[in-house]
Structure 1
Amino acid sequence: MKIKQLCFVSGVALATLGTSAAQAALVVVPTGLNPGDQYRLVFVTSGTRNATSSNINDYNTFVTNQVTGSALATQLTTAGFNLGTITWKAIGSTPTVAARDNTGTNSLSTGVPIYLIDGNRVANNNADFWDGSLKHPINLQPNDVTTGVDFVWTGSSSNGTGYDSFQLGGLYSEYVIAGRADSVVFSGWIAETTDVYSTAKSLYAMSSVLTVLGNQPPAPVTVPESSSLLGFITLGGLMLGGAVRKARK
């Protein structure tokens, strides 16, 4: 009877292992980079705001505040970065400032690789970032939540300049261009639709240039959730039970 009960419990453990999802941490030092290599990070904000201001600093302050106290901030600190030396800029254009200039990614300069905060590469350099498509959507928030079909204020065209008449702040009308956080091609990520600028939406954010330090720990590995750990423990019990039965024969 005890052996049957053990088999039953172990079966439950295997089911748990089969259905339990893995929990992965944010990745702020992408794999494959060496000490001295430079790169940038991007994310989409969890918070939302309107697009009525024509002052780009209002949006820069907004995205910066999204990092404060977040899981991203914790991960950056753990990796050895000084948060006070990292600046965050909105990937957005007002009537007087273009997104590529606000973020320091004008394609006239080569720039550095750009990564999502989970380690996925978004673009190889400045020109690649502003060529109309991305290698991976900017769909992860600083609290480690992946967005779906969320529209994001940008006021920008795919080449990083202001979208005629639809920049942040509404130069000629109350409408501003927005992108889609789940999109990577046909400029949809940055210029998908327009909406009234009083509507609340997220924004994209980009870091200043980061440098891999020599003493930074390796990127975190995927670890099982607590339910999976319980499954492993129970499975270990099954293996032990099998060994006991063999010993009794």
Structure 2
Amino acid sequence: MTIRFLKRIWAGVLLLFISGVSHAALIAPAGLNTGDKFHLIFVTSGTTDAYSADIATYNAFVQATADAAGIGSAIGLTDWRVLGSTPTVNAADNLASIFNNQTNVPIYNIDPSPTLVDPLNGIFNNIVANSLTDLWVNGSTNNILYEEDGTPNYGNVWTGTTPSGNAYPNLALGSSTGFSSYAFPYNTESNIYAGYTNQFIQWHLYGVSQELIVLENGNVALSAVPVPAAVWLFGTGLLSLIGMASRKKCSNC
């Protein structure tokens, strides 16, 4: 095993966890500064029924929507998730895996022209929640109203979810009862749950992004995922092997 090969392995491991690719197709929400982290949420322009009990079906739908709008796979955002619940997967759990920090990183609308509502503190009306946890505890600060391209959308949205982020009993997406719950994107008190109806109706979905960060030039990039301790230990082991290989090579000089 050569030193060059070991170095390549370590570099590859780090690349799995660190991303510095800038995404010019996304605009940092008004009110944020360099280094601020955030998530985006949109209402899909397209519609679907709520028959499937597989959360992957709905995740794929919002990802395809983001891809078509140029804010998905083409710029490195490959894990847009649905804010929705099936009988076996809670919305809170489905979204948790794309939130590096569930308690401090805010969620913003894709709003092309937000309004400054608090000039003294520089607060705009484009924030949806102060964090994922806050969304489940206090609900939305503002309406989740905009499509992937920033167009307002007043259509109903399938969620199958209680305001606390759990699957609504017997009303989750794909529930065997044949009924699922939906939300009103234009009403902060009903952004997660407003009522329920037959699953055959074609309605919209909510899509939520991975964690993003504002760069110095105003562009947006995927936020670096914290590297697990196990990876650092693996890297330490590799560096030790590299050192041993170097010493062995020198002894054979």
TM-score tier, shorter chain, comes to 0.5 to 0.7
1:97 pairs, out of 76, 89, 101, with 89
In 2, the alpha carbon distance for the partners of 1:143 and 1:85 equals 15
Looking at structure 1, the residues matched to 134 and 85 of structure 2 have their Cα atoms a distance apart, in angstroms, of: 19
Q: C-alpha distance in 1, partners of 2:145/2:130?
A: 18
Matched with 2:76 is 84
Which one of the candidate residues 193, 196, 210 is aligned to 1:194? Answer: 196
Cα offset, 1:104, TM superposition: 1.3
Residue of structure 1 in register with 2:180 after alignment: 176
Secondary structure in 2 matching 1:130: helix
Do 2:67 and 2:74's aligned partners in 1 also have CA atoms closer than 8 Å? no
Q: Which sections of structure 1, spanning at least 5 residues, go unmatched?
A: 1-25, 219-249
1:141, CA displacement in angstroms?
0.6
Between the two proteins, what is the percent identity of the paired residues? 34
Amino acid corresponding to residue 113 of structure 1 in structure 2 = P
Kept in 2, the 8 Å contact 1:39–1:211? The answer is yes
Distance 1:85 1:67, change over 3 A: closer
Alignment of 1:1-249 (within 5 A): 28-70=27-69, 73=70, 83-104=75-96, 109-118=102-111, 120-148=126-154, 150-171=155-176, 173-185=177-189, 188-217=190-219
Contact residue 182 and residue 195 of structure 2 kept, 8 A: yes
After superposition, the Cα gap between the structure-2 partners of 1:65 and 1:82, relative to the gap in structure 1 and judged at 3 Å, is closer
8 Å CA contact 1:167, 1:176 repeated in 2:
yes
Q: What is the distance in 2 between the residues matched to 1:96 and 1:211?
A: 32
Distance 1:181 1:29 in 2: 22
Q: What SS does structure 2 have at the residue aligned with 1:42? A: strand
Post-superposition CA distance 1:53-98 (Å, at most 9, x none)? 011011000011111232xx3xx59xxx972245210000001111
TM-score by length of 2: 0.66
Moved over 4 A (4+): none
CA contact 2:77–2:209 (8 Å) conserved in 1: no
Kindly indicate whether the alpha-carbon contact (under 8 Å) linking 1:156 and 1:163 is maintained by their aligned counterparts in 2: yes
CA deviation map 1:195-218 (0-9, x unaligned): 111111000110011111222359
Displacement of 1:34 after TM fit?
Answer: 2.4
C-alpha distance after superposition, 1:27-47 (max 9, x if no partner): 730123222221000000010
Aligned partners of 1:212, 1:87: CA distance in 2, in Å? 19
The one-character-per-residue Cα deviations of 1:7-50 (angstroms, maximum 9, x if unpaired) are xxxxxxxxxxxxxxxxxxx9730123222221000000010001
Change over 3 Å in CA distance of 1:127–1:93 after alignment to 2: same
The RMSD of aligned alpha carbons is: 2.4
Residues in 1 aligned to 2:151 and 2:107: alpha-carbon distance in whole angstroms: 19
Relative distance call for 1:53 and 1:103 in structure 2 (3 A) is: same
